[in-house]
Amino acid sequence: MRSLGYTWGVGGVLLLLVFAIYRLAPMAFALNEIPLTMLHWAALLFSICYMAYAEGYKGFHLGFAPRVVSRASYLSQNPRLAHIILAPLFCMGYFHTTRKRQLLSIGLTVMIICFILIARQLPQPWRGILDAGVVVGLGIGIASINYFLLVSRLSPTYEQVSAEVPGDD
């Protein structure tokens, strides 16, 4: 049960991110078939660099990825059947967490859904430009989760971030 919750939690989050890349990458790759102006190239470069930093590094590497691994570790040490069944949602902080973390997780999800609905309305090449940046950010997110998985396994003295569970100070 312990390793099942850990594996399903982290694996489910990784599958969700891989699926998002799978859905977005075709729009980004479609840019190869469109003649781009200098403005488009500049926007593409900005989108990739900005999303690598803001989404990939600041969002995933500094916040989301270490917390997912930390919450998966907590789940493996404190298994509950409902938490194991919903392990990916548990690891993302949707429940059995501090009120602040829960509100942040839900609020961020709502914001992402709004951005997705807006991005779908953009014509090419703008949608592809935006999606290229998001794909890079998500790729960094996947790499970050794997990095923290590796560090937590190889270094017994690794101090994880707070799992932000109720009663955790």
- Could you report the per-residue pLDDT of 57-106, keeping only the tens digit for each? 999 999 999 999 999 999 999 999 999 999 999 999 999 999 999 999 99
Indicate the angle between helix axes 126-154 and 38-51, nearest 10 degrees.
Answer: 20
Cα 81 to the center of its chain, rounded Å: 24
Q: Is 169 helix (H, G, I), strand (E, B) or coil?
A: coil
Q: What pLDDT score was predicted for residue 168?
A: 61
Q: How confident is the model at residue 158 (pLDDT cuts 50, 70, 90)?
A: confident
| Structural domain spans, the chain | 2-154
Euclidean distance between CA atoms 94 and 86, whole angstroms: 10
Nearest alpha-carbon partner for 71 in 140, 28, 12: 12
Phi, psi torsion values for 28, nearest 5 degrees: -70, -45
pLDDT score recorded for residue 56 = 97
pTM of the prediction? 0.92
State which H helix or E strand residue 118 sits in: helix 99-119
